[in-house]
Structures are given as C-alpha cells and as structure tokens.
Amino acid sequence: MLIDPEPLFASVAGGEKIRFGMVGIGMQGSGLLGEAIQLPGVECVAACDLYDGRHTVAREITGKANLPVTRRYQELLANKDIDCIVAAVPDHWHKQIVVDTVTAGKDIYCEKPMSHSAADGVAMVEAAKKSGRIVQIGSQRVSFVDLRQSERTDRSGSDR
C-alpha cells in the first residue's frame, strides 16, 4: 500500500496562502522556517526572537529584507495577517505560547516536548478545546510518509 503525500499539505481556496508567524529562530526554528517556506501555499509574514541577530537570520532564510520582526510574540498574535504560528522556543515556554496562540484565535505548530508537567499539558488541551483551534506538537519522525506506511504493516508483512 502506498500513501499519497498530497493530502498532508494544506490547500487554500482561491489560491490564497497560509500565512504564518515564526516564533524562535534558533537552531530548530531556523530549520523549520526554511522547510516551511518550501511548502506550496505557505508564506512566512513575520518572525519573533529575543535576539536581533536571529531577526537577520529570519530575513535571510525567507529572502525578505523587510520581513517584520519583533522580540514580542504577542505582536504576531495580534497581527490579523497571520493565520497560524510555528513555535520553536525553549521548552519551558511551550505551554504559555500554545495557550496564548489558541486564545488569540490562531492555530499552532509547537516543537516537542508538549509540556514539562501533566498540569501544563491539561491546560494546553483545555485551551485548544475551548478555542477550537488546531494544535500540533512536533514529532516529525512519526509524520514521515515512510513511517506511516511501516506502521500499517505488521512484522509478517500483512496489512493491519
């Protein structure tokens, strides 16, 4: 059985793009940013990091010399041109940025781990349910098409 990767990509009616804000442009974030802008129908419209040097990195990766940048992620949440957030921030910030993002009415992809405590995880899930927004916590390996295929086949080679 072969899995078609096309349904994994978002499609937007009328040729519009999904516009995201990138929060955290360190090692993981710069890699995510570079990969995300390669997806069809996706555009980074603003970036956030505490370090000015990483603002330069975000502009270099996107090829946008005038990419809006900030040190305050709340500015991205208030930006009506941003549909969703991609976050690669230090682990102890995951709960707060997820809760703030969905409360602001935006979807979010946040790097793993989801949280450091069960209580933080519960708060994140409750905020997502209350807002109806999409929350994805990064664990790219389990999303690979090749691994999805292998999960559907047991050791004897037959489909589950």
Q: According to the model, what pLDDT value does residue 153 have?
A: 52
Q: According to the model, what pLDDT value does residue 137 have?
A: 85
**Residues 57, 98, 41, 75: is their CA dihedral positive or negative?**
negative
CB neighbours of 47 closer than 8 A, spacing ≥ 6? 21, 22, 23, 25, 33, 54, 55, 58, 59, 62, 67, 68, 69, 70
Q: According to the model, what pLDDT value does residue 160 have?
A: 45
Q: According to the model, what pLDDT value does residue 141 have?
A: 60
Residues 6 and 14: their CA atoms lie apart, in Å, by: 18
Contact 70, 76 (CB under 8 A): yes
3-state secondary structure of 56: helix
pLDDT tens, the chain, 160 aa long: 444 545 445 555 556 789 999 999 999 999 999 999 999 999 999 999 999 999 999 999 999 999 999 999 999 999 999 999 999 998 788 899 999 999 999 999 888 877 778 888 889 899 999 999 988 888 756 556 665 555 555 455 554 4
What is the model's pTM?
Answer: 0.78
Question: Between the CA of residue 36 and those of 41, 63, 109, 151, what are the distances in Å?
Answer: 10, 13, 11, 25
